[in-house]
Amino acid sequence: MKENIKGFTSNQLKMVAIIAMTIDHATSVLWPGYHYEWWIILLHLIGRLTAPTMWFFVVEGYYHTKNLKKYITRLFVFSVPAHFAYNFCFGIPFIPCKTTIFNQTSVMWALAWGVVALCVDDSKKLKGWQKLILTILICIVTFPADWSSIAVLCIIGIKRFRGNLNRQMIEVMVYVFFYSVVYVLNVDPVFGVLQMGVVIVYPFIKLYNGKRGDAKFMKWFFYLYYCAHLALLGLLRLYLHGNIAVIVGG
């Protein structure tokens, strides 16, 4: 008999994140721009579950992977097709920064560099000032990505307080607050405040039981699904609206 373990496995939480991500992205494609209807805002709020879940499990992957180099390589390799799928989905030019500096590539780019930042943070060979400079450079490189360099800073914060969820959430909320302020000032005030909705991830992560789950295919499923759903939504965008941008960055 299988042991009855309470709470969510990492696979189950990743599936929740995938569903939330799909709802959020589909909403952006179906209703381009920034709509203030309560139900559209609610759909985007559900999507705030995804990013912090991804940040959390990138850190968990950093500690649990058997081969860190392969883990980092996998993230960078998938960031390439993810770039084209993300930009195609939302109508953003494939060549970065042709229109603006925001949302120029997918969050996969920031996740990959986030793991590199963890390696820098843990390095015994680097001095404090060297770590600071390298972290700043990583933030610059990831600034144009979805969730910008905030993703990297949140990943570092989650790692430094691993095992203390309350402290991890404080770190995340502080960094996301700055992201929210930039969003309010440069994109849209309502959707800027909406970014603070990442706090809704707390009860889900609180129920994480530390187990991976039986479905080993989930290791690859997220990467493949991420690119596939973006490509399909990109086709839907072309069918519904033509070749127009549906989020800032297009």
Query: Domain map of the chain by residue range?
Result: 10-241
What residue type is 128 in one-letter code? G
At 243 the pLDDT is 93
Give the CA radius of gyration of the chain.
Answer: 18
What is the pTM for the complete model shown? 0.94
- In the beta sheet, which residues pair with residue 8? 208
97 — pLDDT class (breaks 50, 70, 90): confident
At 249 the pLDDT is 56
| Mean pLDDT computed over 217-238 | 94
202 — pLDDT class (breaks 50, 70, 90): very high
At 212 the pLDDT is 87
Task: Kindly write down the DSSP assignment for every residue of 33-101, as one continuous string.
Answer: S----HHHHHHHHHHTTHHHHHHHHHHHHHHH-S-HHHHHHHHHHHHHHHHHHHHHHHT--SSTTSS-S
Which range, of 58-72, 89-103, 191-205, averages the lowest pLDDT?
Answer: 89-103
Res. 2: pLDDT tops 70 = no
pLDDT tens by residue, 170-198: 999 999 999 999 999 989 999 999 999 99
